[in-house]
Structure 1
Amino acid sequence: MTRLSRRALLIGAGSLAGAGTVVGVVAASRRRRPGALPLGPSAAPPVPGAPAATPTPTPLPRGGRLAIAAAAGFDFDTFDAARSGEPSVVELLGRVHARLIQWADPAAAVLGPDLAAAWEQPDPLTLVLRLDPRARWHDVPPLAGAPVTAAEVQAHLARVVAIARAGDAPRSQRSAALLDIARVETPGLAAVRLVLDRPSPLLLPALAGEFALVQPPAVLEGPSAPSDPLDPALLAGCGPWVFSGFDGPAARFRAHASGHRSPLLDAMAVSPPVDTLARYRAGELDEFPAIDPRDAEAARALPGIVELPRFHRELVLSTFAASGPPWSDPRLVEAISGALNRTCLADALFAGRARPSGPLPPVSRAALEPPVLAPFPGYAADAADDARAARQRWEAAGGPSLGPVTVDIPSIFDPRYAASAVVIARLNDVLGPQFRPGVETYTTIARRVQEGAYGNGRAAFWFGWGTPLPSPDPRELLLDLYGHALAPAERSNLLAADPADSAAFAGLQRAILRDGFRGVVPWLQQVGETFRRPGTFGPPPSPFWDGYRDVQRYRLS
C-alpha cells in the first residue's frame, strides 16, 4: 500500500514560505477582552407565549444511500489521526470520528459545534468545552455504544499535546496552538477545561483542524490496541458514520443513528476519482469531481446533471529567498510577477480553469477583488500593460546582468500542464532570453526552499503547487504563507482580527503586494467542477475537507 503522496513529502519538509509555526503569541481581540476566544453557540431559553421567530422548516427526507468520488486518490499512511500527515486519510477518519468543534460554514469561516455542543472562556487562560450529552461511541467492540466521557476527551487531548510537544506530529497537523495548553481538566462528567500558558488566538481553529479528530483511548492504547497502523479497528469512533469495510476501492459507511449528529442518509460509499464519468453513467456514482476537463465537457451533456464549481486545495505559487541578492531587490520579483500575467497563465496552463490569487486565495471571502488587485504587477486587465512595466522594472534593477535564471518546476506539474514551456516562454518573451527550466521532484524543491537556495546569491525560483491551504480562517492562511515576513505589530493585529470580518485583512494584503510580495508570489487557484445526479442534495463543494457535512446530504429519489 502506498504510504506518502507528493504533498505529504512536501509538507514534511516544512512550509514552502519559510514561515515557522506560531507559538506563544499574545494578541487582543478587537471586540473582546485581551486574549478572549470567541464564545461558543448557546441556546437562549424560550420566552413563554412568544411567537416563533421563523416558521418550522419542512423536515428533510431520511433514508437512502449515496455514492460519491473523493477529490483525490486514497493514499493512507496511518489511521492514528495524531500521527498522520496525509490528507486523504481524512476521507475515512473524518467521517468516523468527531472533532470537538467544526467549521459550520467554511466559506464564511464560521465555527460551530460538534462533540462540544458549546464552549466559553471565563478568562483569557481558560477554555471550557461542554460535551454534547447525546455523543456515543460506535456500537462495536470494545466501545459498545457507550457515552463519550470527559475523561476520554481529556486523555485524547493530553495525548495529542504530548505528541506535539515531542515534535512527533507531522507539520500538516499545524498543531502549534496546542502547545499553549498547560493542562486539561475535567470539572464534570460532560465538561473539559483547557488551562493555557498564554492567550491562544488560534486554539479554536486548531480544535477544528483537519486532523483534530477525537479517537477513543481504548482503541488506540488499550490492551487490544492493534499493532498495524492501518488496522480498520482504528476506525471506530463517535462520528456520524460507522466504517463498514471496503468494496473494492470504495470505503463504505453506515449511519451512526444513535450519535449526536445523525445523518439523513442510511449509508454512503466514498471512492477514489477513477473512471468517474463511466461509473456515473452506470449508476455507480451520484457525485464526482471532474479531474479531466474533457470529462467535464462530456458530463454537461448528460440530462439533468447538476454542475457546481470547486476550488482546488492548493495555490500555484513561487517563493523567493529575499534576505539576500538578487531577490532582495523587490523590483526583480515584481518584474517576474508582471511578466507572468495571471489571466494569461490561467488560459495557457489551465484553459481558463483558474482564478488569479492575491495573498489570500479567491476562495476566501477576505480575498481582494480584481479591481483592487489590478494596479499591482501581474494583475492588469491588459497583459501587454503588465509586460511593458515588467521589462522596465527588470532592466532598471539590473535583471539582464543576472545571467541564466533557473525556474524549478515540479515533475508532477510538468509535463502535465506544459509549465516549463508556457512559463519559460513567457518570461523569455517579456524579460529577455535568460530563463531556463529545471524539472525537479517536490522533495528536491522542498529541500532547496528550506536551504534558502532560491535566492541568496542564486538566480533561481520555483513554480508549482504549494502545500494544502490550512483552514478557512484567513489568519491561518496569511500566517501559512507570510508568517515569516510579518512585523510584530502586523502579526499581533492579524491574530486579533475576527476571521469572519473580511475587511480586517485588506490592509495587510495590500502591504504585502506593495512590498514586492515579501518572498511569496501567489499566482492562481485552480477551479474544477463537481457534478451531482438530479435529486441529490448537499452542501456546496469546499476546497477544505468538510466530509463531516455529509450528515446534511439527502436524496429525493
Structure 2
Amino acid sequence: MTRLSRRALLISAGSLAGAGAVAGAVAKSRRRRPGAPPPRPSAAPPASGATAATPAHTPLPRGGRLSIAAPASFDFDTFDAARSGEPSVVELLGRAHARLIQWADPAAAVLGPDLAAAWEQPDPLTLVLRLDPRARWHDVPPLAGRPVTAAEVQAHLARVIAIARAGDAPRAHRSAALLDVARVETPGPAAVRLALDRPSPLLLPALAGEFALVQPPDVLEGPSAPSDPLDPSLLAGCGPWVFAGFDGPAARFRAHASGHRSPLLDELAISPPLNVLERYRAGELDEFPAIDPRDAAAARALPGIQELPRYHRELVLSTFTIAGPPWSDPRLVEAVSAALNRGWLTQALFAGRASPSGPLPPCCTAALQPSGLAPFPGYAADPAADARAARERWEAAGGPSLGTVTVDIPSIFDPRYAASAIVITRLNDVLGPQFRPAIETYTTIARRVQEGAYGNGRAAFWFGWSPPLPSPDPRELLLHLYGHALALAERSNLLAADPADSAAFAGLQQAILRGGFRGVVPWVQQVGETFRRPGTVGPVPSPFWDGYRDVQRYRLP
C-alpha cells in the first residue's frame, strides 16, 4: 500500500478556517539504500518527581535472532534525524539512536525513561533531565563506546532547536514546543536543564517524538562528518541496536549490550514488506504486517501463527467548512454523519477491518467507548434507526433544497475501497438522490480546503484518509483535528490535562459531538493485522512507530 501521498496532506490547526487540511509538500531528495506479554518500562513522572523505579524483571530468555517486516517500504532521504521527515528512515535511526524519553505505553499515553532515566519540573519554566549513567555510544569509530555526556545532549538539543527556529525542521517533527526553550544548560555532568520562555505543556511529548533522536554532534557536524547524508556512520548512536549493514533488502542490527537499554535478542533484521508469505514459509521472516487482506486470509491457515490487530495511523474522515452555509447548520452535518452509520460503514466499506472513531481514535485509551458514542448521530447500534433520524434532520434543515451535493474522494482511496459507489449509494438511499462523487487528487482536495470550498455556499465535502496521527498524546490528537474549533477555555483545559488520565478527555469529546462535529467528522480507524511465528514474543503493535520496544522481544525456548 502506498502511503506517501497521504502524508503530503497535513492538518494545520492554526490555519483551519472551517475544518480541513493543508497540503504540505514532502520534499524528496535522492532516495537510496546506504552503502553497503513482556515487561513494561517503568514510567518517569510527568511533573516534579522521583527517579524512575527499576522494574523487577522475571528472567526471560535471552539470545537469538528475529526478522521483522516493516509496515512500509524503505525510502530514505537523510540519516540526519533533525532534517528527515521520511517515516521509513526511523526504521533504522529509531533503533540505532535513543530519545530522551519514550512512550512506555502508547495506547495509554504513558511516558517512560530512555536516555533520561528521570526528569523533574521544579517550576513551570524549568525542565531537568537526569541522564542514565549506563548510557554509552556504540563501540564504533569515532564514538568508541564512550559514555554519553550532558554536554553532548546539550549540543544536540541546541542544534535541533536552532533548526526549528530557522524554520527548517520538517513538518512531521511538530517542533513548535521546542521554540519555547530559551536556553539549554548543563548543571551537572549527567543533567540537562531546559529553561523555558513560557510554560510548554507539550514539551515532553516533543522529546518523545518520532524524529526526536539524540545523535552525536561530532558525527553530524565534526571535522570528520561525512558529506553523504546516507553515510552509514550516521547510524552510530546510543540506542539499543548497532547497525551491522544490509543483507539483501534487510537492515541487520546487533544488540548494544553495554548500553542503558540492552535487548534480550542478540540480532534483529528489518526489511520492507515484500513477498511476506513466501518469506515466512521459507523461514526468513518471524513477523509481518498483512498489507493485502488476501495475505491475512492466507496467513490464518498457517499452523500455529499468532494474529494481532494493528490500527492504521490515519483516520477515515470528512471535513466541512462551517463558517458559512450550508454546513453552518449543524443539522446537515449531523444528517450526513447519521446516514453513514459507523457500524454499517465498517462492514460495507472495509469488510469489518475498521473500528468506529469518535474525536479521539479507538487506538487511544482515552477514546469514548461505544456506549459513550451511541447517543450521537452515526453511532447507533441499529443503522436503520440512524438512517431514519438522518432523513428527518436533512429534511428539517432544508437539505433537499441544496440540489447536487458533491463528495470529493481521493484518487488513492478509490477504486481500492469503492467509496464512490458504496458511500454515495448509501447517502442517496438515506438522504435522497442528490449526491454525486468526484475523484480528485489530495493536492486538489487540500487546495479546496484552504479556499473554504467545502462550504461557504458550495454543497460539497470530501471523504478519505486523514493525515497521519501525530502522537499517542490525546491532547495532540485533539489539537490535530479540532484545534481550529476550540474555545480559549477549552484549549487551556485540554493542555492542562494529564495525557494518561482518560477521563479528562470525555467532556471535550462529547462537546465536539454535540456541536455538529465542529466541521471534522471522524468515520473509522482501519485495522490491519500483524502475524508472528509461534514462540515469538513482543509488544502489541501500535499505529505509532514503536521499534524502540524491540528490546522487549524474545524467543521462547
Alignment of 1:275 with 2:275, yes or no, is yes
- SS of the residue 1:503 aligns to: helix
Alignment of 1:10 with 2:9, yes or no, is yes
- SS of the residue 1:112 aligns to: strand
Shift of 1:272: 1.4
Equivalent position of 1:65 in the other structure: 65
Q: Quickly say closer, same or farther: Cα 1:544–1:230, change in 2 above 3 A.
A: same
TM-score (norm: length of structure 2): 0.92
Q: State the alpha-carbon separation in 2 of the partners of residues 448 and 19 from structure 1.
A: 9
Q: State the alpha-carbon separation in 2 of the partners of residues 527 and 314 from structure 1.
A: 10
Shift of 1:175: 1.1
- SS of the residue 1:168 aligns to: coil
Q: Which amino acid aligns with 1:217?
A: P
Q: Which amino acid aligns with 1:128?
A: V
Q: Quickly say closer, same or farther: Cα 1:7–1:214, change in 2 above 3 A.
A: farther
Shift of 1:389: 1.2
Equivalent position of 1:29 in the other structure: none
Equivalent position of 1:385 in the other structure: 385
Q: State the alpha-carbon separation in 1 of the partners of residues 276 and 213 from structure 2.
A: 29
Q: State the alpha-carbon separation in 2 of the partners of residues 41 and 8 from structure 1.
A: 39
Q: Quickly say closer, same or farther: Cα 1:108–1:155, change in 2 above 3 A.
A: same
Q: Is the 8 A contact 2:10 2:21 kept in 1?
A: no
Q: Is the 8 A contact 1:41 1:113 kept in 2?
A: no
Please say which of residues 82-91 and 116-125 is displaced more in the overlay. 82-91
Q: Which amino acid aligns with 2:406?
A: T
Alignment of 1:312 with 2:321, yes or no, is no
Q: Is the 8 A contact 1:135 1:259 kept in 2?
A: yes
Q: State the alpha-carbon separation in 1 of the partners of residues 452 and 79 from structure 2.
A: 34
Shift of 1:41: 5.1
Equivalent position of 1:26 in the other structure: none
Q: State the alpha-carbon separation in 2 of the partners of residues 418 and 4 from structure 1.
A: 18
2:51 corresponds, among 35, 42, 49, to: 42
* Aligned ranges 1:174-193 → 2 under 5 Å: 174-193=174-193
Equivalent position of 2:394 in the other structure: 394
Alignment of 1:260 with 2:260, yes or no, is yes
Shift of 1:291: 1.5
Equivalent position of 1:80 in the other structure: 80
Deviations 1:293-328 (A, max 9, x none): 222222122111111111111111111111112211
Q: Quickly say closer, same or farther: Cα 1:213–1:495, change in 2 above 3 A.
A: same
Equivalent position of 1:171 in the other structure: 171
Shift of 1:234: 1.8
Equivalent position of 2:39 in the other structure: none
Q: State the alpha-carbon separation in 2 of the partners of residues 511 and 19 from structure 1.
A: 22
Identical pairs, percent: 85
Deviations 1:255-314 (A, max 9, x none): 111111111111111111121111111101001111222222221221111111111111
- SS of the residue 2:9 aligns to: helix
Q: Which amino acid aligns with 1:11?
A: L
Q: State the alpha-carbon separation in 2 of the partners of residues 388 and 43 from structure 1.
A: 54
Q: Which amino acid aligns with 1:339?
A: A
Equivalent position of 1:426 in the other structure: 426
Shift of 1:551: 0.5
Shift of 1:121: 1.1
Q: Is the 8 A contact 1:97 1:214 kept in 2?
A: yes
Q: Which amino acid aligns with 2:312?
A: H
Q: State the alpha-carbon separation in 1 of the partners of residues 128 and 213 from structure 2.
A: 18
Q: Is the 8 A contact 1:10 1:443 kept in 2?
A: yes
Shift of 1:183: 0.8
* Aligned ranges 1:43-442 → 2 under 5 Å: 57-442=57-442
Q: Quickly say closer, same or farther: Cα 1:220–1:268, change in 2 above 3 A.
A: same
- SS of the residue 2:8 aligns to: helix
Shift of 1:12: 8.7
Q: Which amino acid aligns with 1:371?
A: S
Q: State the alpha-carbon separation in 2 of the partners of residues 498 and 4 from structure 1.
A: 32
Shift of 1:495: 1.0
- SS of the residue 1:185 aligns to: strand
Q: Is the 8 A contact 1:314 1:469 kept in 2?
A: yes
Q: State the alpha-carbon separation in 2 of the partners of residues 417 and 156 from structure 1.
A: 44
- SS of the residue 2:160 aligns to: helix
Deviations 1:467-522 (A, max 9, x none): 11111111111111111100011111111111111111111000000000001100
Shift of 1:449: 2.1
Q: State the alpha-carbon separation in 2 of the partners of residues 4 and 298 from structure 1.
A: 23
Q: Which amino acid aligns with 2:247?
A: D
Please say which of residues 354-363 and 465-474 is displaced more in the overlay. 465-474
Q: Which amino acid aligns with 1:38?
A: A
TM-score (norm: length of structure 1): 0.92
Q: State the alpha-carbon separation in 1 of the partners of residues 65 and 216 from structure 2.
A: 27
Q: Which amino acid aligns with 1:156?
A: H
Q: Which amino acid aligns with 2:191?
A: A
Q: Which amino acid aligns with 1:216?
A: P
- SS of the residue 1:184 aligns to: strand
Please say which of residues 254-263 and 398-407 is displaced more in the overlay. 398-407
Shift of 1:397: 1.5
Shift of 1:447: 2.5
Q: State the alpha-carbon separation in 2 of the partners of residues 160 and 144 from structure 1.
A: 24
Equivalent position of 1:504 in the other structure: 504
Shift of 1:230: 2.5
- SS of the residue 2:534 aligns to: coil
Deviations 1:411-447 (A, max 9, x none): 1111111111111111111112221112122222222
Q: Quickly say closer, same or farther: Cα 1:4–1:243, change in 2 above 3 A.
A: farther
Shift of 1:232: 2.2
- SS of the residue 1:160 aligns to: helix
Q: Is the 8 A contact 2:20 2:320 kept in 1?
A: no
Q: Quickly say closer, same or farther: Cα 1:514–1:241, change in 2 above 3 A.
A: same
- SS of the residue 2:193 aligns to: strand
Please say which of residues 227-236 and 312-321 is displaced more in the overlay. 227-236
Shift of 1:194: 0.1
Q: Is the 8 A contact 1:308 1:540 kept in 2?
A: yes
Shift of 1:4: 9.2
- SS of the residue 1:119 aligns to: strand
Shift of 1:450: 2.5
Q: Quickly say closer, same or farther: Cα 1:5–1:185, change in 2 above 3 A.
A: same
